Amino acid sequence: MIRKLAWVIIIIGLFLVVFNGFQWWDQLRRAVYDPIASKKVAQDWDDLQAKDALTQGVSTKNIKLKVSNQIGELIIPRMGAILPVVHGTDDESLKKGIGHYIGYGTVNPGETGHVVLSGHRDTVLRGAGQLKIGDRLYVKFQGNIYTYQIRKTWITDAEDRTIIVPISKPVLTLTTCYPFDYIGSAPDRYIIRAELIEVKKDKEAV
């Protein structure tokens, strides 16, 4: 009886390992890691000199977005990454890419206000720790490319409610779990804060 129970536990354990491994692989394959393609988004992607931030964004208030649908792309040349951005940060949405937070105090990419994006540290944002102050994040959304420049990074508790708050100028916050090599549910969050410095038409979308 004990032997049979042990075999059942082993089989269930193997099933869970395979299932979780498939989910991890499925999330990872949604990200494109192509250093050459990601750097084509802008010639000055590696210019770390601080640029003046824009005081106003672009109005997209009438756009209706559906939860879990892809709404754009986040391109991070420093990571060589082209990541799908989906509307929502629930579990199903985060399995599909970078989640666009829905809630009080947040806006769509490019608008005047606070854009909040989140992703898993072990899939789409596995290289977030290599980003530097001055690095650029490019968000393709609704026919435009919004360029945000990183101003600061910090680590905070997972329960910190001061991160997602209204901001009166166009900024972007990118969040992921921390420590990066933590096994299980990580206790902290790694925060990347960037300001909008440029808006240009997406030629590929025209």
**DSSP secondary structure string for all residues of 97-146:** SEEE--STTB--TTSSSEEEEE--TTTTTTTGGG--TT-EEEEEETTEEE
Give the other-Cβ count within 10 Å of 81's Cβ. 23
- State which H helix or E strand residue 38 sits in: helix 35-39
Please identify which of the residues 87, 100, 114, 120 carries the catalytic annotation.
120
Q: Using DSSP, state whether 93 is helix, strand or coil.
A: helix
Q: Is 100 known to be catalytic? A: no
Main-chain dihedrals φ then ψ at residue 181, nearest 5 degrees: -100, 15
Q: Is 120 known to be catalytic? A: yes
Please identify which of the residues 87, 100, 114, 177 carries the catalytic annotation.
177
Cα–Cα distance for residue pair 88/64, rounded to 1 Å: 13
Residues with catalytic function: 120, 177
